[in-house]
Amino acid sequence: MAIDTVCGMEVDEKKARFSTVDNGKKYYFCSKNCYEKFQNNPLKYVNKKIIKSSEKDKLNLQNKDNVQKKIELKKEDINKNLIEEERPLAEKKKIKVKDNEFVINVKDYLRAKDIEILEVLSERKRDFEARIRIDTMLGKQEFYLMAKDKKTVSDNDFAVALQKAQSKKMLAAVMATGSLNKKGKEHLEQWGNLVKYEKLKF
């Protein structure tokens, strides 16, 4: 089957009534109409075909280029976004260093964990106390929070927190940047139903 270069129709070479030769190439036409169009301006149709296929190649190349460019742009966007998201955090941290870093970090930590601060009881450089509400498996529960910036948490820290919590008829939550020492661990095992412990990670 040949293709009528004027209208694009398939033409059976054996049955075609209209054909011509141009530049050594034979062309078949579906009708007199197409044959005449070709004869009136063969360059239009011969060139059309050539341009068409070369344009296709160009377009394909351009498309490939564009897809590649788009992918690269997206990558750039993602990188930009990452950088832009990181920047304000870093700036915030700088402010925190000058300001009361520990307390602000604790507040950020609570906010990130969806823990509500009901009342701030005390704010010091390495120590933060508040009434908080934690969404536990048993529903929302109020805790007396004692957050400390110290390397080790001892049984004494738990005892103080528990005492303060019980005077307010609350459960106690101790959060600290450091870990439990041996006595702290023992205390937590014994009183774990009344006091929670969480290591603060900023």
DSSP 100: T
**Least Cβ distance, residue 55 to Zn ion (angstroms):** 22
CB of 76 vs Zn ion, minimal distance in Å: 49
In whole angstroms, give the CA distance from residue 32 to residue 20.
Answer: 12
State the DSSP string of 134-168. EEETTEEEEEEEEEE--SEE-HHHHHHHHHHHHHT
| Closer Cβ to Zn ion, 4 or 155, answer by number | 4
- Cβ nearer to Zn ion, comparing 30 with 106: 30
Residue 165 is a binding residue for Zn ion (CB under 5 A): no
Per the CB < 8 A criterion, the answer to whether 158 and 179 are in contact is no
- Distance of alpha carbon 193 from the chain centroid: 39
Q: Which is nearer to Zn ion, 39 or 154 (CB)?
A: 39
Give the residues across from 120 on adjacent strands. 130
Nearer to Zn ion, 28 or 102 (CB): 28
Binding mask 7-36 for Zn ion (x = CB under 5 A): x-x--------------------x---x--
Which residue's CB atom is positioned nearest to Zn ion?
34
Long-range contacts of 124-130 (CB under 8 A, 24+ apart): 125/100, 125/149, 126/102, 126/150, 127/102, 128/102, 128/103, 129/164
CB of 22 to Zn ion, least distance (A): 16
Min separation Cβ 65 and Zn ion, Å:
36
Shortest CB 78 distance to Zn ion, Å? 52
| Cα gap 23→133, rounded to integer Å | 89
The pattern of x and - marking residues 33 through 62 that bind Zn ion according to CB under 5 A reads -x----------------------------
Q: Which is nearer to Zn ion, 10 or 76 (CB)?
A: 10
Using CB under 5 A as the binding criterion, the count of chain residues that bind Zn ion stands at 6
DSSP annotation of 200: -
Contact set with Zn ion (CB under 5 A): 4, 6-7, 9, 30, 34
